[in-house]
Every structure is written in structure tokens, then in C-alpha cells.
Amino acid sequence: MNVAVIGMQFGDEGKGKIVDYLASDFDIIARYCGGSNAGHTVVIENKKFKLHLVPSGALRGKIGVLGNGMVIDLQVLREELRELKDAGFEPKIIISSRAHVVTPLHKEMEALEEKVRNIGTTRRGIGPAYETKVKRVGIRIIDLFNQDALTKKLRLISTLWHLDKSNEEIENIAKELSSLGKEFKENVKDTELWLNQAISAGKSVLFEGAQGTMLDVDFGTYPFVTSSNTNSLGLFPGLGIPPKYLDKVIGVAKAYTTRVGEGPFPTEIHGELADMLRNKGNEYGATTGRPRRIGWLDLPVLRYSKLINGIEEIAITKIDVLQNLREIQVGVKYSCKGESFEYPPPFLESCKPVYESLDGWSSMDDEEFQRYLRFIEENISVKIKIVSYGAEREKTMRL
């Protein structure tokens, strides 16, 4: 059975923990979108790991695949693997020959862009790497193995984006990238062939989503999105496998909502309560350290996410953070331009949430706790199958 684990909100739902928790049931963990903008926090034996490129389940001895739909910063990957090695982990990873490479030029492009218009990106060169890909001037992993051709490609990017690089600068970047390529040569494969063959041979795959549905370039809060299809649909082009191989989609939703970066966030709250939840939930970006914006649970977002991703069950995370609140608000629909909406419209910035208020709980044995879970299930018609109430693996309940 092949399962996708997808973020239902704005990223940071706790996918890393859920993937790690489920990993033992699978042979392969495959990522298909994004790059080192992702920050997946996994706690193993009281040690916290913030993974950006290595698929979370790869720490459990599974094979981690970095699919062609990703944009990969090999320098970050090298650093990440080094840290893991120091902690006693040597994950097995394979990298798609067709994945695109994030180079220093992409980061420079992004810095220039963010000066003119603020999306609040992670500044990991993600958007520009997808930009060069779609413009057909991108650099693929396979291109790292021919330094002369690579130099030409880098020069073309520099020219097209008016980066004004000297020949020497371009040559130095090419040299560094081809040396990184050499380092990872053994890990590079035509992963679409490898994966299809593995699945045909009966191996099971967990598809690890990154970011969240509301950051999806097509269905998120455009233009305040990341530059890839982060939803479950993205995994087919992002890995080169046909839809028939996806058996189930599990959605991961935080018990409240957070967002890092700019963009509409209807259920956002400010002030003391927001600060308290941020501290209790340690809501600071795993990649950038930025404080996350905080808000109540937004059911139209979950409803939409269920629909777009084909979600059949939900893992609710960080439910412990809400414990001991007297009252909890839940956004059940929106009022936008005088009309009522059950799903986020493409003009979410014009929407105000309509709240229902629920009683809080002080222990997970309380009736009110069950009521919160049932309220979510009934409103979006999906069963909650996993409840996570802490970063550690043990703090997970299967329902």
C-alpha cells in the first residue's frame, strides 16, 4: 500500500513527526516537491532533528527518495547529512537525475525579488529554481557532471536575470557545483524508473508532502504561496509515477492554524493569547526561525484540503497546545464580500471567518476534548485516525 502524507494548512502541521511515526510500515519514503524551504522536525531519543531535504522516514532506515519535482540545494543536503552522521544516522538516499539544482544565482535572484515585492519566502532559492526550470534554462542534477556545459548554463541564467557576474564568478560556482555533483554521484538515479520498478516489485512507498495545501502554487493563497504543487496531485509529476499507485492520502492538520510569511490568514489572532500559543507550541519556523503567525482552526481550509487532496483520514497534531483554554474558537465558514463561503475562494483576503465557540478541556479524558475532535470530523466529513499531543513519538494516539 502506498500512502501520501499531506499538510492541510499552511505548512508546519507536523508532517515530519507523522511521517516518522508511520515510516516503519513502508520500504521507501519519497519527497516530490519543494526543497530546503521545508523544515521537518523529528524527535528521536530526545534528540531533535530539523530536516530540510532528507525525507523524515529515512532516519528509520528506509530508503529516502528526492524526486524530480524537487529543487535541491546540495550544499544544504551535504550539511544535513553531516549533522545526521555526527548523531549516528546514515540515511540511504537517492536523488533524481532530473531534479533541479538550487545554485547561489537562484538565491541572489530571490534576494533581489524580495526587495521589490515581499512574499516572505524562506530565501532558499526555491521560487527562482522553479522559475529557471519552467523557463527551460534550469540546471538539473545530471548537468553537474559536465562542468563546461554547466558553466554555459550558469552564464545564461546570469545574463537573463541581469546578475552581472564575471566569468570568474561563474566559473567558481560551476566548479563548486560540479564538485558537489561528484560527491553525490553514487546517489543519483533515474528515480522515476527506480520507483516504478520498486512498486511493481511490491515495495511500499510513503509520499512525504512538504509545505501545505494553502501554499500550493495553484490552490493556495496565490501569490503568497510556494512555487510547486504541494498537494497530493503534485506527487505524480514530482516522482514520475502514475495515479494508480496512490492508495490513500492522510491529511495532517494542526489543532489550530499557523502561517509563516505574508498572505491572507482569516482566522489569525493577535495579542496575549496568540503569544501564549506561540510559546507553548514553539511556533518558530524550523527553517528561518521566524515567529509563526497564530490563529484558530479554519474549517473551510480543511474542507478544501480534503477535497483537493482526496484525504481519507486525518492526523491532528499539537492538540496539547490547546489544553487548558477555557474557550476555543473554530472558524466554520467565511463571509466574503457579503456572501457566505464553505471553501476558501480565490480572493481569501476579502474573507472574515464566522466562528463557533467550543468549551476547552483540561485533560484528554474530558468530554470537551472528544467534542472538539467530533466537531472537526462532522464539519469536514473525514475521520481523525491519529492524534498527536507532543513532539515525541510516544505522544501519539491511534483512534
Choose, from 12, 20, 73, 298, the residue flagged as catalytic: 12
> Which amino acid is present at 189?
K
To ligand IMP, the closest distance from the beta carbon of 141 in angstroms equals: 20
Assess contact for 188 and 97: CB atoms under 8 A: yes
Q: Kindly write out the interface string for residues 242-281 of this chain, putting x where it contacts Mg ion by CB under 5 A and - elsewhere.
A: ----------------------------------------
Nearer to ligand IMP, 256 or 361 (CB): 256
Report which of 174, 162, 98, 184 is spatially closest to residue 133, judged by C-alpha positions. 98
User: Measured between alpha carbons, how far is 44 from 196 in angstroms, rounded to an integer?
Assistant: 31
Chosen from Mg ion, ligand IMP, none, partner binding at 120 (C-beta under 5 to 8 Å by type): ligand IMP
Nearer to ligand IMP, 73 or 192 (CB): 73
Using rule CB under 5 A, residue 286 touches Mg ion: yes
Using rule CB under 5 A, residue 298 touches Mg ion: no
Using rule CB under 5 A, residue 12 touches Mg ion: yes
- Distance of alpha carbon 252 from its chain centroid, rounded? 11
Chosen from Mg ion, ligand IMP, none, partner binding at 334 (C-beta under 5 to 8 Å by type): none
- Three-state DSSP class for residue 43: strand
Using rule CB under 6 A, residue 56 touches ligand IMP: no
Which residues, other chains included, contact 212 with Cβ-Cβ below 8 Å and sequence gap of 6+?
6, 7, 8, 9, 10, 11, 12, 13, 220, 230, 305
Using rule CB under 5 A, residue 209 touches Mg ion: no
Report which of 19, 133, 119, 114 is spatially closest to residue 71, judged by C-alpha positions. 133
User: Measured between alpha carbons, how far is 163 from 177 in angstroms, rounded to an integer?
Assistant: 18
12 a catalytic residue: yes
Assess contact for 352 and 334: CB atoms under 8 A: yes
User: Are β-strands 327-336 and 297-298 bridged in parallel, bridged antiparallel, or unpaired?
Assistant: parallel
Using rule CB under 6 A, residue 38 touches ligand IMP: yes
Stretch that binds Mg ion, among 12-20, 109-117, 161-169, 325-333 (CB under 5 A): 12-20
Q: Kindly write out the interface string for residues 185-214 of this chain, putting x where it contacts ligand IMP by CB under 6 A and - elsewhere.
A: -------------------------xx---
Using rule CB under 6 A, residue 95 touches ligand IMP: no
To ligand IMP, the closest distance from the beta carbon of 210 in angstroms equals: 6
The owner of cell 489543532 is: 255
Q: For residue 386, what is the enclosing H or E element?
A: strand 383-388
Stretch that binds ligand IMP, among 33-41, 137-145, 314-322, 325-333 (CB under 6 A): 33-41
Assess contact for 354 and 332: CB atoms under 8 A: yes
For the segment 112-171, give every residue that binds ligand IMP (CB under 6 A): 119-122, 124, 126-127
Q: ∠ CA(208), CA(214), CA(216), 5° rounding?
A: 65
To ligand IMP, the closest distance from the beta carbon of 139 in angstroms equals: 18
Q: Kindly write out the interface string for residues 32-61 of this chain, putting x where it contacts Mg ion by CB under 5 A and - elsewhere.
A: -------x----------------------
Using rule CB under 6 A, residue 11 touches ligand IMP: yes
Phi/psi region, residue 261 (left: phi>0; alpha: psi -120 to 50; beta: rest), is left
Using rule CB under 6 A, residue 57 touches ligand IMP: no
Q: ∠ CA(108), CA(110), CA(113), 5° rounding?
A: 115
Chosen from ligand IMP, Mg ion, none, partner binding at 104 (C-beta under 5 to 8 Å by type): none
Using rule CB under 6 A, residue 226 touches ligand IMP: yes
Report which of 361, 335, 219 is spatially closest to residue 266, judged by C-alpha positions. 335
Give the interface with ligand IMP as residue ranges (CB under 6 A): 11-12, 37-39, 119-122, 124, 126-127, 210-211, 215, 224, 226-227, 260-261
Give the interface with Mg ion as residue ranges (CB under 5 A): 12, 39, 286
Catalytic residue ranges: 12, 40
